[in-house]
Amino acid sequence: MGKIKLNVLGISYSQTQSVAYALVLSEEEGNRRIPIIVGGFEAQAIAIELEGLAPPRPLTHDLFKNFADSYGIHIMEVNIHKLEDGVFFANILCDNGGKRTTLDARTSDAIALALRFKCPIYTTEDIVEKAGIVLDFEKGTDLENPDITPEAEAKDPPVKIKKGPRPDLSNTSMDDLRLMLAEAVSNEDYEKASEIRDEINRRSR
């Protein structure tokens, strides 16, 4: 069975589930999306890498990468290979230059590592068929706010991808924004840091 390459489309706080986040993967060649519910720590690990933020101290997945780099271990690819009772199963293919090993991993951890190692993420057609959502572009579906009701999460309430209200940073000077960004990262408030960084990037265009 052929593999389908996936990209990380985004991650957002669930408006309906306490301390839960929705990670959305998209097939590289197609319109289907796979939503996966993850916890807060896993969401943070994925989000800070997506946002390009550097924590003052290495988080668990950063420590894993530093350890792997020190011993010449590289993650070649991540495979989401099974979906059972609403749970996604993944493994990671590692290579140390002389031997390749496949390790079992939680899907959220595997994706957090894939982003750090910049390796591809794959799944199967069967999983995309079971858990995928087809976005209807003709009806103007909002890519950032799709309604998520996959069969794979049938036991959980539907999750809607939404962005919360953004703080008004329009009257803040660039110097103050840079200071605020450094403070937010130092405090490990990555959601606030990403908003400040977006404002800095917007002004720099």
Long-range contacts of 155-161 (CB under 8 A, 24+ apart): 155/86, 156/17, 156/37, 156/86, 157/16, 157/17, 158/16, 159/14, 159/15, 159/16, 159/17, 159/20, 159/22, 159/35, 159/37, 160/14, 160/15, 160/16, 161/10, 161/12, 161/22, 161/24, 161/35
Average pLDDT over residues 106-110: 95
| CATH annotation of 3-160 | 3.10.690.10
Phi/psi of residue 191, nearest 5 degrees: -65, -45
User: How many Å separate Cα 200 from the centre of its chain?
Assistant: 22
Query: What's the whole-number average pLDDT of the chain?
Result: 79
| Contact status, residue 134 vs residue 26, Cβ threshold 8 Å | no
Residue pLDDT, tens place only, 132-189: 887 554 344 343 444 433 333 333 333 333 445 556 788 888 888 878 877 776 666 6
Q: How far is it, in rounded angstroms, from Cα 22 to Cα 46?
A: 11
Residue pLDDT, tens place only, 45-59: 998 898 888 888 899
pLDDT of residue 111: 96
Q: Is the pLDDT of residue 193 over 70?
A: yes
Phi/psi of residue 179, nearest 5 degrees: -65, -40
Phi/psi of residue 61, nearest 5 degrees: -70, -30
Q: How far is it, in rounded angstroms, from Cα 11 to Cα 23?
A: 4
pLDDT of residue 146: 40
Average pLDDT over residues 117-124: 97
Tokens in use for 198? 């977006």
Domain ranges of the chain: 3-160, 174-204
Higher-pLDDT residue of 61 and 133 is 61
Range list of β-strands (E), 14-107: 20-27, 32-39, 74-84, 87-95, 100-106
Q: Is the pLDDT of residue 191 over 90?
A: no
Residue pLDDT, tens place only, 32-41: 999 888 888 8
pLDDT of residue 65: 96
Q: How far is it, in rounded angstroms, from Cα 123 to Cα 88?
A: 10
pLDDT of residue 22: 81
pLDDT of residue 103: 97
Phi/psi of residue 152, nearest 5 degrees: -65, -25
pLDDT of residue 95: 97
Classify 35 in phi/psi space as left (phi over 0), alpha (psi -120 to 50) or beta: beta
